[in-house]
Amino acid sequence: MAAIEPMEQFLIHKVVDFPLIPVPVLGHIDLSITNSVLFMLIAAGLLCLFFVAAAKRELVPGRMQAVAEMLYGMVDNVLTGGIIGDRGRPFLPIVFTLFMLIAILNLLGLTPGGFTVTSQLAITGTLAVMTFLIVLAVGFARNGLGFFKLFWPAGMHPAMSAFLMIIELISFLIRPFTLALRLFGNMLGGHVVVYIFAAFVVNLAIFGLNGFGLNTLGLLGSGLSFAMVLALTALDLVIAIIQAFVWAALTCVYLNEVVNLDHGH
């Protein structure tokens, strides 16, 4: 049986190689297009095409327009409106963009020959830091130094409040790490398991076809592995959407804390 290397699917390699560009102070910058960059460009292109096709404003919506309106309405009513409230409408574009971008990146990783961009910790980490900085910017813009009231429990003894403030501050600062690791771990783990069972399909089939007697049980194992691949792929499809929804929901939760800080304290 051939060796199973499930991590090979996550390796970064160049698709289009460009010469290094000298930049003062920074040294040389490599702007070559890797498989990760390629699929991010594909995701951006697909999203643009989708919204161009959906933005027809027909009286009787077509399929694309109906899907776009459904997704937009879900984010508006369930996430920004449902979690942040009336003050959430200004943040609808960024939350909707994060949801759609992460969803399409996750789904592209399930296509034959696709590359799962969100299985790269550098990508999920960058998205997490960007989300965290947006929350910080909104928090200080709306509350000024009153933003720090978020970490100070009211109505308690000052010593206990100071102790809990340290815990709350640490909990707040690790949010980018938990955001990044949650998406990274789910995408990485799901694809590794599917890859392993897919390898079993081929290897057990070869084992069963090249022998007699008990060797033919390899064909049964291959069939069972194929059924598992189908089931796990369907599960990955659901997880791809759920993880995008979870990211958008947590973004709204974090924004709600700073947007409605004056209501909660």
Please give the Cα distance from 7 to 116 (Å, whole number). 12
C-alpha dihedral over 51, 54, 55, 56, to 10 degrees?
150
Nearest Cα to 64, choosing from 76, 81, 80, 47?
A: 47
Structure tokens at 67: 């899907």
Q: Print pLDDT tens along the chain (265 aa).
A: 455 677 888 888 899 888 888 888 777 888 889 999 999 999 999 999 988 888 777 667 778 888 888 999 999 999 999 999 989 899 999 999 999 999 999 999 999 888 999 999 999 999 999 999 999 999 999 988 888 888 887 777 778 878 888 998 999 999 999 999 999 999 999 889 998 888 888 888 877 777 655 566 677 888 888 899 999 999 999 999 999 999 999 999 999 999 988 765 4
The DSSP bridge partners found for residue 34 are: 14
What lies within 8 Å, CB to CB, of 120 at 6+ separation is: 10, 12, 36, 184
Length of the chain: 265
Q: In this structure, are strands 33-34 and 14-16 parallel, antiparallel, or unpaired?
A: antiparallel
Backbone angles phi, psi at 33, to 5 degrees: -90, 115
- Asked if residues 102 and 183 have their Cβ atoms less than 8 Å apart, the reply is yes
Please give the Cα distance from 147 to 247 (Å, whole number). 23
- Single pTM value for the model: 0.89
Collapsed DSSP state (helix, strand, coil) of residue 34:
strand
Q: Which residue has the tokens 């960059």?
A: 37
Helix axes 63-74, 35-54, angle to 10 degrees: 110
Structure tokens at 259: 């947007």
H or E stretch including 26? none
Domain residue spans in the chain?
6-264
